[in-house]
Structure 1
Amino acid sequence: MKKILIIAVLLMAGIVTYSFTHIPEDKVVKKDMPQKGTVIEMNGDLYLKSIADYKSTKEFKFKGNRPVVIDFYADWCGPCRLVAPLMKELAKEYENKVTFYKVNVDNDRDLATALGIQNLPTILFIPMKGDPQAIVGSAGKETFKQAIEKVLLEKPAK
């Protein structure tokens, strides 16, 4: 009887452990897979792969399948720290419509230089068609929403 009880306890412990540690395949987060509703850390390689090739051509040709917002920031930048939570909120709000990235210019100076980023924060809005547009400096959530609606989603301003 003791052996059966021990086996039952071990089986239950195994089932409980498995249920808390097993992640279903559809919930597995892959490192290079953009996550909806989040701000994704971007570097030059990801920019080349997902946005445009700035190394071999001067002409901007967007590679993505969804409009993009890129927040160029630095950890030491006070206004950048004010913009970051707004970008997180907007990423959740526009999760099925716009992809949000952030680039730490101290970690990826080549990309920032190639794109002409000189002041922080610089928020780059990249539509599906047409040229990217930017807001330089800190702004409020409503200003960013208006830019997203007008530049990326082509809706008239309210």
Structure 2
Amino acid sequence: MKKIALSITAVALLALSCTNGSATSLKNSDQEVNAATTSVSDKTGDDQSEGSGKPVYLTKQDFLDKVMNYEKNQSEWVYEGDMPALIDFYADWCGPCRKAAPILEELAKEYEGRIHIYKIDTEKEKELASVFGIQSIPAFLFVPQKGKPTMSNGIAQTDEETKAMFKKMIDEILLGEGAS
């Protein structure tokens, strides 16, 4: 598990930082990705439910139930979800993270019933951010129904380019629909 975390950290260090505004996709095809604890508070205070067409803030138990039960599966990635997922690692102070938020809300509506969009605050969930090697934000974990997840860092220059980047990765990685 430490090797994986170290590998992910090394890749993240090479990834683009929060301030430069471009995206890089990192395919983790040769390694198992292991998750750690997460406990994300619901920023809205609403009782968000999946299928609501909105991103969902995860609690630790939600993460264990819906994404990866690292307590049960410590040596391999076993996705617990019923649909592919996009996980947004963000912080409230991060400008590009704030820029990505409304785009992810639009995509949650557009892809409702086909993918889940989850949010994890890296300021509150430092252990999880560390295990995934999150060194720059925003960072996005694309978790297909089967297979290994893919990490992407940063966003594009404009809202339109950012939305197109997300749609391409969702279609190719999560839905297996190829280039659109």
Shorter-chain TM range is 0.7 to 0.9
* Unpaired stretches in structure 1, ≥5 consecutive residues: 1-29
What root-mean-square deviation, in Å, do the aligned CA atoms of Structure 1 and Structure 2 show? 1.6
With a CA cutoff of 8 Å and minimum separation of 6, indicate the structure with the bigger relative contact order. 2
Which string of whole-angstrom CA distances, capped at 9 and with x for unpartnered residues, describes residues 29-88 of structure 1?
Answer: x93742431100123332111111234503100011100011100001111011111100
Within 5 Å, which residues of 2 pair with 1:68-147? Answer: 68-139=85-156, 140-147=162-169
> Which runs of structure 1 show a deviation greater than 4 angstroms over 4 or more consecutive aligned residues?
none
TM-score by length of 1: 0.76
Secondary structure of residue in 2 paired with 1:107: coil
Which one of the candidate residues 22, 38, 56 is aligned to 2:54?
38
The question of whether the paired residues in 2 share the 8 Å contact of 1:44 and 1:108 is answered with no
Higher fraction of helix: 1
Per-residue displacement from partner, 1:81-135 (whole Å, max 9, x unpaired)? Answer: 1111110000000001001111111111122222222210001110001111121
Greater radius of gyration (CA): 1
Q: TM-score under structure 2 normalisation?
A: 0.67
| Paired position in structure 1 for 2:32 | none
Identity of aligned residues (%): 39
CA contact (8 A) 1:36 1:99 kept: no
d(CA) in 2 for partners of 1:135, 1:146: 12
Counterpart of 1:100 in 2: which secondary structure? strand
The unaligned stretches of length 5 or more in structure 2 are 1-45, 157-161
